[in-house]
Chain A
Amino acid sequence: MEKFQTLHTTGVPLPFENVDTDQIIPARFLKATTREGFGENLFRDWRYHADGSLKAAFVLNNPRYSGEILVAGKNFGCGSSREHAAWALYDAGFRTVISSYFADIFRGNALNTGLLPLQVTDKVLARLLAAIEENPQLGLVVDLPAQTLSVPAWGETVSFAIDPYKKECLINGYDDIDFLVNQKSAIEAYEKQRAWTW
């Protein structure tokens, strides 16, 4: 997993609530057996017509907007547990998703992919969405070690919460496998002391 420290970028607004992982990457594109290449089908049915032509109204097809942060409505990533959703966002160049809350499984998958799920209040989210739509060049700065999101144009910085262990993992590019494999003796000891075998 790539290390995540700070990010200086702009945001792409997606002001819908309850964006489910079927929208992020529809099931019919989950047939690949590797992690790469899902970005081209990110938000497939919102981004393309059935004949493959672009839907001009969709934000990812709007040349006004670019950047490595997706700013989305609350309950982002609900539904299916497919980690392909986090891979698709990452593959398409996103490194952070800002929302006012995330579905649990998506949050975990994002953290395991090196994509930061950054939770802000409903109020901050609404302000950000409006400000980016007004000025797509609005600069955003994520500082993971400091756990802050700054908007220099506003002269404001907000703090965000993140689990301290997952923060260390992201900053250093570690994942849980390294940690868990090192617990082998404790795991074997646990197995031996269990009263039941099923």
Chain B
Amino acid sequence: MARSLVDKIWDAHVVRSIASGQDVVYIDRHLIHEVTSPQAFDELAARNLPLFRPNRILATADHNVPTLNQHLPIVEPLSRSQVDKLTENCQKYGIELYGLGHQRQGIVHVIGPELGLTLPGTTIVCGDSHTSTHGAFGAVAFGIGTSQVAQVMASQCLLLTRPKRMRIAVEGQLRPGVTAKDLILYVISQLGTGGATGYFVEYAGSAVRSLSMEGRMTVCNMSIEMGARGGLIAPDATTFAYVEGRPFAPKGAAWEQAVSYWETLYSDDDAVFDAEYVYDAAEITPMITYGTNPGMGIPLTGHVPSQVPDSEAESFDKSLKYMGFERGESLLGKQIDYVFIGSCTNSRIEDLRTVAAYVQGKHKAGHVEAIIVPGSKQVEQQAIAEGIDKIFAAAGFELREPGCSACLAMNEDKIPAGAYCVATSNRNFEGRQGPGSRTLLASPLVAAITAVQGRIVDITQYLN
């Protein structure tokens, strides 16, 4: 029977099915971090359960770490205690930890791929909704709650209902200045913030196939922003070329065996999807969000909608009031206070190169504070090796140390109340970047140009 990609991977991980319809699904990789793991470790201890497969878990500290002076003890006592707790738990249970100061530390969804832990055909979970990022490699990857973190620790499995399947194809060629981030912001603006709830999304089509692995990760990363459990892309030569030679990737004969298996991981021609959408890449222009959920996106040169259904009017107007925008207005010319380049969506070396290529020889606008937070220690080191750090410094952009930073503002990196921030991250929720902060989501290229111009512009007029 013809099967979709997600079904092929799912089927290969079913330990057994139970009468009420759920599957016991085996998890190949479990990534943990300091914020959503401590209560899970406590749960194991309270039940006197051993950790079932410590070698299938990797830990890092990313959500709640400072991005300055990481070589010094963490100043904020609660944050320090949370990071210390992770270290204690990893020592106690024999888990590999890439903590602060480690050469492999970084945002959990950046380090998995760059270390070759993220492989096609695997199941990957983490107590973080952006685990969907790893789907870029043709993995079934999704975020879980802390109770489920404890379940995977205890059994390396989860009890799950098979998701519905959605395919989103983007066909054709993206226009100059239009990136993977614009592609996914466009798709989310079409489907809405809950439009894929209950589904696993497979991204397909020539525009998706032509993306780099970094671009594919950006796309899959934001699957959760339309409610999807996960998103994935069939692995291909681009995928294999990225994975080969990375520290945890299979080597030698195992590599050959792996690739021959991975080459079978695609949706069969007759595979049935519960929902399908096709978009034309040429219709997509540089995007920005104007509201307080990621579905509220428009072309940079577009207008805030003037009409919404009556049932949505109260929430819509509440959102616009928070942002300080009016129905029907254009965002062009709006002054911006902060630019944040970072997060598991856009903090990889390709993102930093994009920003550097634009800002070289230019300087940020005087009133803008521009912060770049690399996704990992390796990204940071690569940027330094390429001299990108010097380009940022000359352009007035501050390059920090790795972490989730102002994407969720758990640490000191907060946007002040009322300030506007163009961010390359994934969520523009009220207060996400700090109480009262106003976030406009965009691509790294849009963010770089905005920082230099100091206001929202039609970036197609400013491309190098």
Q: Assess the A83–B145 pair: CB atoms within 8 A.
A: yes
Asked if B233 is an interface residue, CB under 8 A from chain A, the answer is: no
Q: Assess the B145–A45 pair: CB atoms within 8 A.
A: no
Q: Assess the A16–B24 pair: CB atoms within 8 A.
A: no
Asked if A186 is an interface residue, CB under 8 A from chain B, the answer is: yes
Chain B interface residue number, banded: 35 or more
In the complex where A79-B427, A80-B129 touch, is A31 in contact with B254 (Cβ < 8 A)? no
Asked if A53 is an interface residue, CB under 8 A from chain B, the answer is: no
Asked if A127 is an interface residue, CB under 8 A from chain B, the answer is: no
**Nearest CB of A to B371, in Å:** 17
Identity of the chain A residue whose Cβ is nearest the Cβ of B199 in the assembled complex: A104
Asked if A130 is an interface residue, CB under 8 A from chain B, the answer is: no
Identity of the chain A residue whose Cβ is nearest the Cβ of B193 in the assembled complex: A18
Q: Assess the A101–B129 pair: CB atoms within 8 A.
A: no
In the assembled complex, the Cα of A18 lies from the Cα of B308 at a distance in Å of 15
- A17's partner among B28, B157, B315 (CB-CB below 8 A) is B315
| B114-147 interface code vs A (CB 8 A; 1 in, 0 out) | 0000010010000111000000000000011111
In the assembled complex, the Cα of A80 lies from the Cα of B21 at a distance in Å of 27
In the complex where A33-B38, A75-B193 touch, is A164 in contact with B20 (Cβ < 8 A)? yes
In the complex where A27-B410, A79-B427, A180-B159 touch, is A108 in contact with B39 (Cβ < 8 A)? no
- Give every chain B residue within 8 A of A23 (Cβ-Cβ): 429-431
- Give every chain A residue within 8 A of B54 (Cβ-Cβ): none
Q: Assess the A18–B49 pair: CB atoms within 8 A.
A: no
Identity of the chain A residue whose Cβ is nearest the Cβ of B410 in the assembled complex: A27
Asked if B250 is an interface residue, CB under 8 A from chain A, the answer is: yes
Q: Assess the B157–A187 pair: CB atoms within 8 A.
A: yes
Interface-located stretch among B75-83, B271-279, B332-340, B362-370: B75-83
In the complex where A78-B193, A113-B147, A176-B158 touch, is A33 in contact with B39 (Cβ < 8 A)? yes
Interface-located stretch among B148-156, B174-182, B372-380, B385-393: B148-156
Q: Assess the A79–B258 pair: CB atoms within 8 A.
A: no
In the assembled complex, the Cα of A45 lies from the Cα of B150 at a distance in Å of 30
In the assembled complex, the Cα of A26 lies from the Cα of B156 at a distance in Å of 30
Asked if B237 is an interface residue, CB under 8 A from chain A, the answer is: no
Asked if B357 is an interface residue, CB under 8 A from chain A, the answer is: no
Q: Assess the B430–A16 pair: CB atoms within 8 A.
A: no
Number of residue pairs A-B, CB distance < 8 angstroms? 193
| A168-180 interface code vs B (CB 8 A; 1 in, 0 out) | 0000000111011
Q: Assess the A34–B148 pair: CB atoms within 8 A.
A: no
- Give every chain B residue within 8 A of A45 (Cβ-Cβ): 430-431, 435-436
Identity of the chain B residue whose Cβ is nearest the Cβ of A28 in the assembled complex: B410
**Nearest CB of B to A88, in Å:** 13
Asked if A81 is an interface residue, CB under 8 A from chain B, the answer is: yes
In the complex where A190-B26, A196-B257, A198-B250 touch, is A176 in contact with B159 (Cβ < 8 A)? yes
Chain A count of residues within 8 A CB distance of the other chain: 58
- Give every chain B residue within 8 A of A68 (Cβ-Cβ): none
Q: Which of B79-96 contact A (CB under 8 A)?
A: 79, 81-82, 85
Asked if B35 is an interface residue, CB under 8 A from chain A, the answer is: yes
Q: Which of A2-55 contact B (CB under 8 A)?
A: 15-18, 20, 22-23, 26-28, 30-35, 45, 50
Identity of the chain A residue whose Cβ is nearest the Cβ of B194 in the assembled complex: A75
Q: Assess the B315–A16 pair: CB atoms within 8 A.
A: yes
In the assembled complex, the Cα of A4 lies from the Cα of B52 at a distance in Å of 30
- Give every chain A residue within 8 A of B197 (Cβ-Cβ): 75, 101, 103-104
Asked if A86 is an interface residue, CB under 8 A from chain B, the answer is: yes
- Give every chain B residue within 8 A of A82 (Cβ-Cβ): 35-36, 145
In the complex where A22-B427, A81-B127 touch, is A112 in contact with B145 (Cβ < 8 A)? yes
- Give every chain B residue within 8 A of A20 (Cβ-Cβ): 293, 427, 429
Identity of the chain A residue whose Cβ is nearest the Cβ of B126 in the assembled complex: A81
- A50's partner among B128, B410, B417 (CB-CB below 8 A) is B417
Q: Assess the B409–A105 pair: CB atoms within 8 A.
A: no
Asked if B424 is an interface residue, CB under 8 A from chain A, the answer is: no
- Give every chain A residue within 8 A of B26 (Cβ-Cβ): 187, 190-191
Q: Assess the B157–A180 pair: CB atoms within 8 A.
A: yes
In the assembled complex, the Cα of A165 lies from the Cα of B227 at a distance in Å of 23
Q: Assess the A177–B47 pair: CB atoms within 8 A.
A: yes
Q: Assess the A180–B430 pair: CB atoms within 8 A.
A: no
- A177's partner among B24, B49, B78, B248 (CB-CB below 8 A) is B49
Q: Which of A114-172 contact B (CB under 8 A)?
A: 122, 126, 163-165
In the complex where A26-B435, A28-B409 touch, is A186 in contact with B16 (Cβ < 8 A)? yes
In the assembled complex, the Cα of A154 lies from the Cα of B193 at a distance in Å of 34
- Give every chain B residue within 8 A of A187 (Cβ-Cβ): 15, 24, 26, 52, 155-157
Asked if A74 is an interface residue, CB under 8 A from chain B, the answer is: yes
Other A-B contacts than A35-B39, A183-B24, 18 sampled, CB-CB below 8 A, are A22-B432, A27-B410, A31-B410, A79-B129, A81-B129, A83-B127, A84-B146, A105-B229, A108-B144, A163-B20, A165-B20, A176-B159, A177-B150, A180-B151, A183-B157, A190-B26, A191-B26, A196-B257
Chain B residues packing against A (C-beta within 8 Å): 15-16, 18, 20-22, 24, 26, 28, 35-36, 38-39, 42-43, 47, 49, 52, 63-64, 78-79, 81-82, 85, 119, 122, 127-129, 143-148, 150-151, 154-159, 161, 193-194, 197-198, 224, 227, 229, 248, 250, 254, 257-258, 261, 293, 295, 311-312, 314-315, 318, 408-410, 417, 427, 429-432, 435-436
15 A/B residue pairs, CB under 8 Å, sorted by A: A17-B315, A27-B409, A28-B409, A33-B39, A34-B42, A45-B435, A78-B193, A80-B408, A81-B36, A101-B194, A104-B198, A109-B147, A163-B20, A187-B52, A197-B254
> What are the nearest 5 A-B pairs in CB distance?
A112-B147, A83-B145, A33-B38, A109-B145, A180-B155
